[in-house]
Amino acid sequence: MSFDLEKLVRPNILKLEPYSCARHEFSSTRARAFLDANESPYNTPINRYPDPLQRELKKVISQIKGVSEECIFLGNGSDEAIDLIFRIFCEPGKDNVVSMYPTYGMYEVASNINDIEYRKVNLEEDYSLKADKMLSKVDSKTKVIFICSPNNPTGNSIEHKEINKILENFSGIVVLDEAYSDFSSKASYRFKIDDYPNLIVLNTLSKAWASASIRLGMAFSSVDIILLMNKVKYPYNIGLPTQEKAFEILSNKEKVNAWVEKILLERSRVIKAFSLLPICKKVFPTDANFFLAKVLDAKKTYNYLIKEGIVVRDRSRVELCQSSLRITIGTPEENDALLEALKNFKG
Protein backbone atom coordinates (compact mmCIF):
# COMPACT_ATOMS: atom_id res chain seq x y z
CA MET A 1 0.00 0.00 0.00
CA SER A 2 1.33 3.42 -0.88
CA PHE A 3 0.35 6.26 1.39
CA ASP A 4 0.66 9.82 0.10
CA LEU A 5 -0.77 12.24 2.64
CA GLU A 6 -0.50 15.30 0.39
CA LYS A 7 -2.57 13.61 -2.30
CA LEU A 8 -5.34 12.89 0.20
CA VAL A 9 -5.62 16.43 1.57
CA ARG A 10 -8.04 18.87 -0.09
CA PRO A 11 -6.00 21.37 -2.15
CA ASN A 12 -7.51 24.39 -0.34
CA ILE A 13 -6.42 22.93 3.00
CA LEU A 14 -2.94 22.14 1.73
CA LYS A 15 -2.59 25.78 0.64
CA LEU A 16 -4.29 27.22 3.73
CA GLU A 17 -2.46 29.90 5.66
CA PRO A 18 -3.79 29.35 9.22
CA TYR A 19 -5.08 32.16 11.44
CA SER A 20 -2.21 33.52 13.40
CA CYS A 21 -3.09 34.03 17.07
CA ALA A 22 -1.41 36.63 19.19
CA ARG A 23 -0.56 33.95 21.77
CA HIS A 24 1.11 31.87 19.04
CA GLU A 25 3.54 34.62 18.14
CA PHE A 26 4.73 35.20 21.66
CA SER A 27 4.25 32.27 24.01
CA SER A 28 6.34 33.13 27.09
CA THR A 29 4.30 33.82 30.21
CA ARG A 30 7.03 36.09 31.59
CA ALA A 31 6.29 39.31 29.72
CA ARG A 32 5.87 42.49 31.79
CA ALA A 33 2.71 43.43 29.91
CA PHE A 34 0.54 41.58 27.45
CA LEU A 35 -0.75 44.31 25.16
CA ASP A 36 -0.99 42.16 22.04
CA ALA A 37 -4.39 40.47 22.03
CA ASN A 38 -6.94 43.15 22.95
CA GLU A 39 -7.82 41.25 26.13
CA SER A 40 -8.92 42.88 29.34
CA PRO A 41 -5.98 43.39 31.73
CA TYR A 42 -8.21 42.60 34.74
CA ASN A 43 -7.76 39.16 36.22
CA THR A 44 -11.11 37.34 36.32
CA PRO A 45 -9.06 34.85 36.01
CA ILE A 46 -10.29 34.00 32.52
CA ASN A 47 -9.42 37.31 30.87
CA ARG A 48 -6.57 35.88 28.76
CA TYR A 49 -6.85 33.69 25.66
CA PRO A 50 -5.84 30.10 26.41
CA ASP A 51 -2.88 28.28 24.86
CA PRO A 52 -4.17 27.40 21.35
CA LEU A 53 -2.16 24.16 21.37
CA GLN A 54 -2.93 23.15 24.99
CA ARG A 55 0.73 22.26 25.49
CA GLU A 56 0.68 21.76 29.29
CA LEU A 57 -2.39 19.54 29.07
CA LYS A 58 -0.87 17.51 26.23
CA LYS A 59 2.19 16.82 28.43
CA VAL A 60 -0.07 15.17 31.01
CA ILE A 61 -2.08 13.27 28.39
CA SER A 62 1.16 12.15 26.76
CA GLN A 63 2.28 10.61 30.09
CA ILE A 64 -1.02 8.86 30.68
CA LYS A 65 -1.61 7.63 27.14
CA GLY A 66 1.99 6.87 26.19
CA VAL A 67 1.80 8.93 22.98
CA SER A 68 4.20 11.81 22.30
CA GLU A 69 2.81 15.33 22.56
CA GLU A 70 3.21 16.21 18.88
CA CYS A 71 1.05 13.19 17.98
CA ILE A 72 -1.92 14.42 20.05
CA PHE A 73 -4.82 16.62 18.94
CA LEU A 74 -7.38 17.87 21.48
CA GLY A 75 -10.89 18.82 20.44
CA ASN A 76 -14.28 19.90 21.73
CA GLY A 77 -15.24 16.24 22.16
CA SER A 78 -14.27 13.53 19.68
CA ASP A 79 -16.97 15.04 17.54
CA GLU A 80 -14.71 17.99 16.67
CA ALA A 81 -12.01 15.61 15.47
CA ILE A 82 -14.53 13.69 13.34
CA ASP A 83 -15.75 16.90 11.69
CA LEU A 84 -12.19 18.14 11.11
CA ILE A 85 -11.28 14.89 9.36
CA PHE A 86 -14.08 15.50 6.84
CA ARG A 87 -13.04 19.12 6.33
CA ILE A 88 -9.38 18.24 5.80
CA PHE A 89 -9.72 15.23 3.50
CA CYS A 90 -13.14 15.17 1.83
CA GLU A 91 -14.14 17.37 -1.11
CA PRO A 92 -17.87 18.16 -0.68
CA GLY A 93 -20.06 16.68 -3.42
CA LYS A 94 -17.20 14.56 -4.78
CA ASP A 95 -15.56 12.28 -2.24
CA ASN A 96 -16.97 9.47 -0.14
CA VAL A 97 -16.25 7.67 3.13
CA VAL A 98 -16.89 4.05 4.09
CA SER A 99 -18.16 3.07 7.51
CA MET A 100 -19.58 0.05 9.29
CA TYR A 101 -23.24 -0.34 10.17
CA PRO A 102 -24.67 -0.16 12.77
CA THR A 103 -22.28 2.22 14.51
CA TYR A 104 -21.95 5.62 16.19
CA GLY A 105 -24.31 8.08 14.49
CA MET A 106 -21.97 11.08 14.35
CA TYR A 107 -19.90 9.78 11.40
CA GLU A 108 -22.97 9.85 9.17
CA VAL A 109 -24.19 13.21 10.50
CA ALA A 110 -20.76 14.81 9.99
CA SER A 111 -20.67 13.23 6.52
CA ASN A 112 -24.05 14.73 5.63
CA ILE A 113 -23.11 18.16 7.01
CA ASN A 114 -20.02 18.13 4.80
CA ASP A 115 -21.98 16.82 1.77
CA ILE A 116 -19.94 13.62 1.54
CA GLU A 117 -21.37 10.31 0.34
CA TYR A 118 -21.55 7.89 3.28
CA ARG A 119 -21.18 4.22 2.34
CA LYS A 120 -22.34 1.69 4.91
CA VAL A 121 -21.05 -1.85 5.27
CA ASN A 122 -23.37 -4.07 7.26
CA LEU A 123 -21.79 -5.99 10.10
CA GLU A 124 -22.32 -9.76 10.21
CA GLU A 125 -25.01 -11.38 12.32
CA ASP A 126 -22.68 -11.55 15.33
CA TYR A 127 -21.71 -7.89 14.66
CA SER A 128 -18.22 -8.81 13.50
CA LEU A 129 -16.65 -6.83 10.66
CA LYS A 130 -15.32 -8.38 7.47
CA ALA A 131 -12.42 -6.31 6.10
CA ASP A 132 -12.90 -7.62 2.56
CA LYS A 133 -16.52 -6.51 2.51
CA MET A 134 -15.45 -3.05 3.66
CA LEU A 135 -12.58 -2.79 1.18
CA SER A 136 -14.92 -3.79 -1.68
CA LYS A 137 -16.86 -0.52 -1.13
CA VAL A 138 -13.72 1.58 -1.64
CA ASP A 139 -13.14 3.43 -4.91
CA SER A 140 -10.81 6.20 -6.07
CA LYS A 141 -12.97 8.81 -4.28
CA THR A 142 -12.90 7.08 -0.89
CA LYS A 143 -10.88 9.23 1.50
CA VAL A 144 -11.71 7.84 4.93
CA ILE A 145 -12.80 4.54 6.51
CA PHE A 146 -14.45 4.67 9.96
CA ILE A 147 -14.12 1.77 12.40
CA CYS A 148 -15.52 1.89 15.92
CA SER A 149 -14.08 -0.59 18.43
CA PRO A 150 -15.55 -1.43 20.89
CA ASN A 151 -18.52 -0.57 18.71
CA ASN A 152 -21.48 1.56 19.74
CA PRO A 153 -24.31 0.33 19.94
CA THR A 154 -23.30 -3.34 19.66
CA GLY A 155 -20.56 -3.34 22.35
CA ASN A 156 -18.22 -5.82 20.66
CA SER A 157 -14.61 -5.18 19.64
CA ILE A 158 -13.58 -5.51 16.03
CA GLU A 159 -11.02 -8.28 15.34
CA HIS A 160 -7.47 -6.93 15.09
CA LYS A 161 -6.85 -9.14 12.07
CA GLU A 162 -9.65 -7.32 10.19
CA ILE A 163 -8.51 -3.86 11.33
CA ASN A 164 -4.94 -4.62 10.23
CA LYS A 165 -6.15 -5.80 6.85
CA ILE A 166 -7.97 -2.51 6.31
CA LEU A 167 -5.00 -0.45 7.51
CA GLU A 168 -2.71 -2.38 5.17
CA ASN A 169 -4.90 -2.40 2.08
CA PHE A 170 -6.48 1.05 2.08
CA SER A 171 -4.41 4.01 0.97
CA GLY A 172 -6.72 6.60 2.56
CA ILE A 173 -7.25 7.57 6.20
CA VAL A 174 -8.48 4.98 8.71
CA VAL A 175 -10.24 6.45 11.75
CA LEU A 176 -10.42 4.02 14.65
CA ASP A 177 -12.79 5.29 17.33
CA GLU A 178 -11.75 3.84 20.70
CA ALA A 179 -14.15 5.86 22.87
CA TYR A 180 -14.77 2.75 24.99
CA SER A 181 -11.27 1.26 24.99
CA ASP A 182 -10.80 2.10 28.69
CA PHE A 183 -13.32 -0.67 29.44
CA SER A 184 -11.65 -3.21 27.17
CA SER A 185 -8.69 -5.47 27.88
CA LYS A 186 -7.73 -5.49 24.19
CA ALA A 187 -4.62 -3.52 23.20
CA SER A 188 -5.20 0.03 21.96
CA TYR A 189 -4.18 1.00 18.43
CA ARG A 190 -2.80 4.32 19.65
CA PHE A 191 0.52 2.49 20.10
CA LYS A 192 0.49 1.66 16.38
CA ILE A 193 0.41 5.17 14.93
CA ASP A 194 4.11 4.84 14.06
CA ASP A 195 3.44 1.63 12.13
CA TYR A 196 0.46 2.96 10.17
CA PRO A 197 0.85 6.48 8.72
CA ASN A 198 -2.85 6.44 7.69
CA LEU A 199 -4.21 5.75 11.20
CA ILE A 200 -6.08 8.20 13.43
CA VAL A 201 -7.18 6.83 16.83
CA LEU A 202 -9.93 8.66 18.76
CA ASN A 203 -10.29 8.71 22.55
CA THR A 204 -12.47 10.81 24.83
CA LEU A 205 -12.86 11.93 28.43
CA SER A 206 -16.64 11.48 28.03
CA LYS A 207 -17.01 7.85 29.09
CA ALA A 208 -14.59 6.12 31.51
CA TRP A 209 -13.14 9.46 32.66
CA ALA A 210 -16.60 10.60 33.78
CA SER A 211 -16.33 14.01 32.13
CA ALA A 212 -18.78 14.14 29.23
CA SER A 213 -19.77 17.64 30.23
CA ILE A 214 -16.39 19.35 29.77
CA ARG A 215 -16.18 18.21 26.10
CA LEU A 216 -12.66 16.93 25.62
CA GLY A 217 -11.79 14.49 22.88
CA MET A 218 -8.39 13.28 21.72
CA ALA A 219 -6.98 12.16 18.41
CA PHE A 220 -3.67 10.30 18.14
CA SER A 221 -1.91 10.18 14.78
CA SER A 222 1.26 11.01 12.86
CA VAL A 223 2.88 14.43 13.37
CA ASP A 224 1.86 15.40 9.82
CA ILE A 225 -1.83 14.61 10.32
CA ILE A 226 -1.89 16.35 13.72
CA LEU A 227 -0.33 19.45 12.12
CA LEU A 228 -3.18 19.50 9.58
CA MET A 229 -5.78 19.19 12.33
CA ASN A 230 -4.16 22.04 14.27
CA LYS A 231 -4.12 24.18 11.13
CA VAL A 232 -7.85 23.75 10.43
CA LYS A 233 -9.31 23.84 13.97
CA TYR A 234 -10.65 27.02 15.54
CA PRO A 235 -7.66 28.82 17.05
CA TYR A 236 -8.76 28.58 20.69
CA ASN A 237 -10.89 25.46 20.48
CA ILE A 238 -10.36 24.36 24.10
CA GLY A 239 -11.19 26.96 26.73
CA LEU A 240 -9.07 27.48 29.84
CA PRO A 241 -11.78 26.19 32.25
CA THR A 242 -11.90 22.95 30.23
CA GLN A 243 -8.12 22.63 30.20
CA GLU A 244 -7.93 23.23 33.95
CA LYS A 245 -10.75 20.81 34.71
CA ALA A 246 -9.05 18.22 32.50
CA PHE A 247 -5.84 18.51 34.60
CA GLU A 248 -7.86 17.80 37.70
CA ILE A 249 -9.61 14.78 36.16
CA LEU A 250 -6.42 13.35 34.73
CA SER A 251 -4.74 13.57 38.14
CA ASN A 252 -7.40 11.17 39.43
CA LYS A 253 -6.30 8.19 37.39
CA GLU A 254 -6.52 5.81 40.38
CA LYS A 255 -10.10 6.83 41.09
CA VAL A 256 -11.02 6.41 37.43
CA ASN A 257 -9.39 2.96 37.33
CA ALA A 258 -11.39 1.96 40.39
CA TRP A 259 -14.61 3.17 38.73
CA VAL A 260 -13.82 1.18 35.61
CA GLU A 261 -13.19 -1.95 37.72
CA LYS A 262 -16.49 -1.44 39.50
CA ILE A 263 -18.37 -0.90 36.23
CA LEU A 264 -16.88 -4.10 34.80
CA LEU A 265 -17.94 -6.09 37.88
CA GLU A 266 -21.40 -4.58 37.69
CA ARG A 267 -21.54 -5.32 33.98
CA SER A 268 -21.09 -9.06 34.62
CA ARG A 269 -23.62 -9.01 37.43
CA VAL A 270 -26.27 -7.10 35.45
CA ILE A 271 -25.82 -9.18 32.29
CA LYS A 272 -26.12 -12.40 34.28
CA ALA A 273 -29.36 -11.29 35.92
CA PHE A 274 -30.73 -9.70 32.74
CA SER A 275 -30.12 -12.91 30.76
CA LEU A 276 -32.38 -14.81 33.18
CA LEU A 277 -35.35 -12.48 32.65
CA PRO A 278 -38.21 -14.03 30.68
CA ILE A 279 -38.25 -11.01 28.31
CA CYS A 280 -34.56 -11.45 27.42
CA LYS A 281 -33.85 -13.25 24.17
CA LYS A 282 -30.13 -12.50 23.91
CA VAL A 283 -27.39 -10.35 25.42
CA PHE A 284 -24.58 -9.60 22.98
CA PRO A 285 -20.95 -9.80 24.17
CA THR A 286 -19.56 -6.41 25.15
CA ASP A 287 -16.21 -4.73 25.83
CA ALA A 288 -17.85 -1.41 26.73
CA ASN A 289 -19.76 0.15 29.67
CA PHE A 290 -23.07 -0.84 28.11
CA PHE A 291 -24.65 -3.89 26.56
CA LEU A 292 -27.06 -4.53 23.72
CA ALA A 293 -29.88 -6.96 24.46
CA LYS A 294 -32.55 -8.46 22.24
CA VAL A 295 -35.85 -8.60 24.12
CA LEU A 296 -39.37 -9.83 23.31
CA ASP A 297 -40.75 -6.34 22.72
CA ALA A 298 -38.25 -3.47 22.93
CA LYS A 299 -40.75 -0.62 22.62
CA LYS A 300 -43.03 -2.03 25.30
CA THR A 301 -40.10 -2.66 27.63
CA TYR A 302 -38.72 0.82 26.99
CA ASN A 303 -42.08 2.45 27.73
CA TYR A 304 -42.52 0.41 30.88
CA LEU A 305 -39.07 1.41 32.12
CA ILE A 306 -39.79 5.07 31.38
CA LYS A 307 -42.86 4.85 33.60
CA GLU A 308 -40.60 3.40 36.29
CA GLY A 309 -38.27 6.38 35.87
CA ILE A 310 -35.53 4.38 34.16
CA VAL A 311 -34.22 5.53 30.79
CA VAL A 312 -32.50 3.09 28.45
CA ARG A 313 -31.91 3.41 24.70
CA ASP A 314 -34.40 1.78 22.35
CA ARG A 315 -32.38 0.75 19.28
CA SER A 316 -35.12 -1.36 17.72
CA ARG A 317 -35.56 0.97 14.76
CA VAL A 318 -31.90 0.54 13.83
CA GLU A 319 -31.49 -2.01 11.05
CA LEU A 320 -29.75 -5.18 12.34
CA CYS A 321 -30.72 -4.23 15.92
CA GLN A 322 -34.36 -5.34 15.78
CA SER A 323 -36.11 -5.41 19.16
CA SER A 324 -32.90 -4.40 20.94
CA LEU A 325 -32.23 -2.12 23.88
CA ARG A 326 -28.88 -0.54 24.66
CA ILE A 327 -28.37 -0.36 28.39
CA THR A 328 -25.60 1.60 30.12
CA ILE A 329 -24.09 0.21 33.33
CA GLY A 330 -24.87 2.62 36.18
CA THR A 331 -24.16 2.58 39.91
CA PRO A 332 -25.09 -0.63 41.76
CA GLU A 333 -28.23 1.16 43.02
CA GLU A 334 -29.27 2.22 39.51
CA ASN A 335 -28.62 -1.27 38.17
CA ASP A 336 -30.68 -2.78 40.97
CA ALA A 337 -33.53 -0.43 40.12
CA LEU A 338 -33.42 -1.63 36.52
CA LEU A 339 -33.34 -5.32 37.43
CA GLU A 340 -35.98 -4.93 40.13
CA ALA A 341 -38.34 -3.12 37.75
CA LEU A 342 -37.87 -5.74 35.04
CA LYS A 343 -38.54 -8.59 37.46
CA ASN A 344 -42.04 -7.16 37.84
CA PHE A 345 -42.56 -6.74 34.09
CA LYS A 346 -44.35 -9.56 32.37
CA GLY A 347 -43.79 -8.29 28.82
Instruction: Report the interface residues with ligand PLP, using CB under 6 A.
Output: 77-79, 104, 148, 152, 177, 179, 204, 206-207, 212, 217
- Report the run of H or E that residue 254 belongs to, with start and end: helix 253-275
User: Rounded to an integer, what distance in angstroms lies between the CA atom of residue 119 and that of residue 308?
Assistant: 39
* Backbone phi and psi for residue 141, each to the nearest 5 degrees, phi listed first: -100, 5
Please give the residue whose beta carbon sits closest to ligand PLP in the complex: 77
Strands 290-295 and 173-177: unpaired
Cβ at position 38, least distance to ligand PLP in Å: 31
Cβ at position 37, least distance to ligand PLP in Å: 28
Q: Is the Cβ–Cβ distance between 73 and 221 less than 8 Å?
A: yes
Q: How does DSSP classify residue 183?
A: G
Cβ at position 334, least distance to ligand PLP in Å: 18
| 3, HSE (Cβ side, Cα atoms, 13 Å) | 18
In single-letter form, the type of residue at position 202 comes to L
CB nearer to ligand PLP: give 246 or 279.
246
CB nearer to ligand PLP: give 95 or 177.
177
CB nearer to ligand PLP: give 287 or 342.
287
SS3 146: strand
Cβ at position 17, least distance to ligand PLP in Å: 29
Cβ at position 248, least distance to ligand PLP in Å: 18
User: Rounded to an integer, what distance in angstroms lies between the CA atom of residue 82 and that of residue 53?
Assistant: 18
Query: Chain centroid to CA 235: how far?
Result: 22
Cβ at position 79, least distance to ligand PLP in Å: 4
CB nearer to ligand PLP: give 110 or 193.
110
Closest CA to 176 of 22, 29, 196: 196
CB nearer to ligand PLP: give 105 or 278.
105
CB nearer to ligand PLP: give 207 or 294.
207
